């Protein structure tokens, strides 16, 4: 292995995009190929120490820097990595998406795009301006592109454009790149030389909530059942996995792929809820024959997706169960041996905020191809879970 190319990671979280960076030249096989080590995350930054603890457990050679990016000088970030301006090949990162997420629209300040955390986009621009990487990759929730946040998004693009990076953006569906999850993320990518970045073509195809057209020349979307196929089957569920309480019985009666709407007058359930009175994810269950819906970072007690199979309580009652850690790793296309400490809720919070590995790999690999560090010889192959 030759000299590794240095990368600066901002808002690193549990390290989803960092993992994609370090495995960018790996074949598109989930957990099976770590790549040759072309890129190395030299420094990872975040204000959340538990997330950086996860990153440290999985990235032995990465220096970490804990703190608020708004009070962390770029010079300190580079010094922690042992780098000077223009030496990073990439700056990557996803500023916290809460200000732009649909799940926060119940707050007036978020609907009106007045969340103070939105300024973190400006901090990303600041680090790019002062570190001058060869290229950058920024990702965020699709909501950043909505009209509600037009001013912030345009300011971001303008700021990066004024630096000469010619930023290009696109909303990508993770399932189109081999991830067993219907998760949409926006990526903004730019090059210091000003050349236009071309986003990678999808390798997989299948129907989603917006597109019922299937490209039969591509690999079918990976389903949840395929993702879980070789995982161990546990007879008993832990207490924290069981969905019980007020809606426990109703949830257990919802068929795979359905949600609370099953219990309205239009479907075959109990006619307990009004039509469209809840979020789509309320009592939502996985369809084993389709990719999962988006894995939520901080779901309420009745928010899915839940597993399609029921489990029995100590009293013999049928109940829905929440997804297990190994299942969530599969839905994010993370390797099975990825280490995350904490409770099941801690794991879901970190994974739900992360970039799915195969989606991140596709973008970073395309960028490295176009920068001339890789030959464009990576072809789509059936995703193998190992």
- The catalytic site residues sit at 97
Helix, strand, coil % over all residues of the chain, rounded to 5:
35, 15, 50
How does strand 310-312 pair with strand 292-293? unpaired
Q: How many helices (H) and strands (E) does the chain have?
A: 11, 14
Which residue shows structure tokens 């239009």? 266
Q: Which helix (H) or strand (E) holds 172?
A: strand 168-173
Query: 344 and 322 in contact (C-beta within 8 Å)?
Result: yes
Q: How far apart are CA 177 and CA 381, in angstroms?
A: 10
Q: Report DSSP state, residue 241.
A: G
Contact 24, 378 (CB under 8 A): no
**Angle CA 185–188–191, to nearest 5:** 150
What is the Cα–Cα distance from 348 to 358, expressed in whole angstroms? 18
């Amino acid at each position: 292995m030759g000299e590794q190319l240095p990368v600066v990671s901002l808002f690193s979280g549990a390290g989803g995009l960092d993992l994609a960076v370090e495995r960018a030249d790996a074949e598109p096989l989930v957990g099976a190929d770590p790549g040759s080590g072309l890129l190395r995350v030299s420094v990872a930054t975040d204000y959340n120490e538990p997330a950086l603890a996860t990153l440290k457990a999985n990235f032995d050679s990465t220096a970490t820097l804990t703190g608020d990016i708004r009070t962390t000088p770029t010079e300190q970030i580079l010094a922690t990595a042992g780098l000077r301006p223009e030496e990073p090949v990439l700056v990557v990162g996803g500023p916290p998406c809460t200000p732009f997420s649909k799940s926060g629209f119940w707050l007036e300040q978020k609907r009106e795009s007045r969340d103070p955390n939105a300024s973190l986009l400006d901090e990303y621009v600041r680090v790019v301006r002062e570190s001058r990487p060869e290229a950058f990759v920024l990702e965020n929730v699709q909501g950043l592109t909505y009209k509600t946040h037009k001013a912030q998004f345009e300011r971001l693009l303008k700021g990066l454009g004024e630096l000469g990076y010619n930023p290009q953006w696109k909303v990508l569906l993770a399932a189109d790149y081999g991830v067993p999850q219907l998760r949409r993320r926006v990526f903004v990518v730019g090059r210091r030389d000003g050349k236009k970045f071309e986003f990678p073509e999808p390798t997989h195809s299948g129907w989603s909530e917006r597109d019922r057209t299937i490209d039969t020349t591509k690999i079918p979307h990976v389903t949840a059942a395929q993702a879980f196929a070789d995982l161990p089957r546990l007879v008993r569920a832990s207490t924290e996995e069981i969905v019980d309480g007020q809606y426990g019985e109703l949830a257990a009666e919802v068929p795979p792929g359905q949600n609370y709407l099953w219990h309205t007058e239009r479907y075959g359930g109990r006619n307990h809820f009004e039509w469209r009175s809840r979020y789509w994810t309320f009592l939502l269950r996985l369809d084993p024959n389709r990719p999962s819906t988006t894995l939520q970072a901080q779901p309420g007690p009745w928010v899915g997706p839940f597993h399609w199979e029921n489990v029995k309580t100590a009293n013999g009652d049928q109940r829905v169960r929440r997804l297990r850690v190994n299942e969530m790793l599969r839905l994010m296309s993370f390797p099975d041996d990825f280490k995350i400490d904490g409770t099941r809720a801690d794991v879901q919070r970190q994974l739900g905020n992360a970039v799915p590995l195969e989606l991140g790999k596709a973008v970073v690999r395309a960028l490295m191809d176009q920068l001339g560090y890789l030959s464009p010889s990576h072809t789509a192959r059936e995703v193998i879970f190992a």
